[in-house]
Amino acid sequence: MKELKVLIVGQGIAGSSLAFCLLEKGANVTLIDDGFKSSSSLVAAGMWNPLSFKKLTTGWRSSEFVKAAYEFYGKTEQLLGLSFFHTKPLYRIFADQHQANEWDEKSDRMDIREFVRSNFTQKLNHVKAPFGFGVVDVAGWCDIPLYLKTARKYFQEKNILIENRIKFEDIEVDSERAFYRAEEYDYMVFATGWKNNENPFFKHIEIHPNKGQVLQIKLKNAHIEPMLNYGNFLLPMGDDTYKVGATYEFNDPNPLPTEETKQKTLEKLKAVVESEIEVIEHLAGYRPTIPSRKPIVTAHPEFKKLYIFNGFGSKGVLYVPLHAMQLSDALSQ
């Protein structure tokens, strides 16, 4: 059987994960990435949680995404010889008694029961939660920078990574065939995140850049073990270090972190955590978002060899593995 040859543009969590799925199937994969220049993945806290707290429901296809995430990241951790996908309980701090009552009522519902713990009364040192917590046991975080930097080394060693910005004028296509610098590929997949509007083949698909800011901080001797959600999140990363965030700032063309957001984030944190705070790092990035809040994985309407793999929004860690598995299956047929 002829070897499948695929060019992937973008080595974020989307492009990297798709590459691993295709390599596992024996495909000949080439990646192109500009050195994470516009990377959303390297800014992300990487938290994953199958619930939506607004209405206290399971998110879209949660069980399937969680199952695929364990399967894919588990395999990839083995291949790369490191651990980057973690399970960690998430404590939702109730803002008032109404939220606490709602949790009690809904947490026994069939769809949610597999993810949450009911009847939870324990207190957490250094955390102010007068109305208590709801606990999501099936949740966690992915150390995306560690995953992607290790994956990059792996791709470099295999000599399948071109470290450069793609020039779209180097691509020649018609309805049947696709060439990059005169080399023919069975498929080209664009996983370029929020920079999609620069891609002449897929700019008809609007990916909205949704800015977010994250702080890395130290909390002196707080030793908070679980992840916290209080509108914002607190993610313990070990060694008294935590990530805090993240904001949602639509239509902000300024790519840099701002002092105003930093102060607001710290104020919100001080309302729930009692500890001395030291800010170590402040990052900003853009989530690649589609109004439907669903990823976009589809072929070009005319040039059938071109695909887009994008729109993972604020849920890249959960959404990418299943979509990568399914796209690699489809391309291999």
Ligand X SMILES: Cc1cc2nc3c(=O)[nH]c(=O)nc-3n(C[C@H](O)[C@H](O)[C@H](O)COP(=O)(O)OP(=O)(O)OC[C@H]3O[C@@H](n4cnc5c(N)ncnc54)[C@H](O)[C@@H]3O)c2cc1C
33 binds ligand X (CB under 6 A): yes
Q: Cα–Cα distances in Å, from 301 out to 10, 193, 297?
A: 21, 20, 12
CB of 87 to ligand X, least distance (A): 14
CB of 162 to ligand X, least distance (A): 9
Alpha-helix runs per DSSP H in the chain: 13-24, 62-80, 97-106, 110-113, 144-157, 259-270, 316-332
Q: In what order do the strands lie in the sheet with 171-173?
A: 171-173, 178-180, 183-185
CB of 104 to ligand X, least distance (A): 27
Q: At residue 326, what is the residue type?
A: Q
Q: 112-117, long-range: CB within 8 Å, 24+ apart, which pairs?
A: 112/51, 112/56, 112/57, 112/58, 114/63, 114/138, 115/50, 115/51, 115/58, 115/62, 115/139, 116/51, 117/89
Of 50, 132, 226, 316, which one interacts with ligand X (CB under 6 A)? 316
Distance CA 45, CA 66 (A): 17
Angle (nearest 5°) at CA 322 between 135 and 107? 20
CB of 287 to ligand X, least distance (A): 4
Of 20-28, 69-77, 189-197, 322-330, the segment contacting ligand X by CB under 6 A is 189-197
Question: Strand 57-58 vs strand 296-299: parallel, antiparallel, or unpaired?
Answer: unpaired
Looking at the Cβ atoms of 50 and 212, the one nearer to ligand X is 212
Q: At residue 56, what is the residue type?
A: L
Looking at the Cβ atoms of 132 and 313, the one nearer to ligand X is 313
CB of 57 to ligand X, least distance (A): 18
Distance CA 113, CA 120 (A): 14
Of 97-105, 112-120, 123-131, 280-288, the segment contacting ligand X by CB under 6 A is 280-288
Of 19-27, 97-105, 173-181, 211-219, the segment contacting ligand X by CB under 6 A is 211-219
The answer to whether the CB of 92 falls within 8 A of the CB of 133 is yes
312 binds ligand X (CB under 6 A): yes
300 binds ligand X (CB under 6 A): no
12 binds ligand X (CB under 6 A): yes
Looking at the Cβ atoms of 48 and 132, the one nearer to ligand X is 48
Looking at the Cβ atoms of 58 and 314, the one nearer to ligand X is 314
Looking at the Cβ atoms of 134 and 212, the one nearer to ligand X is 212
Angle of helix 13-24 relative to helix 316-332, nearest 10 degrees, comes to 40
Looking at the Cβ atoms of 23 and 45, the one nearer to ligand X is 45
Of 18-26, 33-41, 93-101, 115-123, the segment contacting ligand X by CB under 6 A is 33-41
294 binds ligand X (CB under 6 A): no
Enumerate the β-bridge partners of residue 93. Answer: 133
Binding mask 38-57 for ligand X (x = CB under 6 A): xxxx-xxxxxx---------
Distance CA 231, CA 244 (A): 11
Q: At residue 115, what is the residue type?
A: F
Looking at the Cβ atoms of 100 and 178, the one nearer to ligand X is 178
The answer to whether the CB of 239 falls within 8 A of the CB of 145 is no
CB of 124 to ligand X, least distance (A): 21
CB of 196 to ligand X, least distance (A): 8
Looking at the Cβ atoms of 13 and 322, the one nearer to ligand X is 13
List residues near ligand X by CB under 6 A. Answer: 9-15, 32-34, 36-41, 43-48, 165-166, 191-193, 195, 212-214, 245-246, 285-288, 310, 312-318
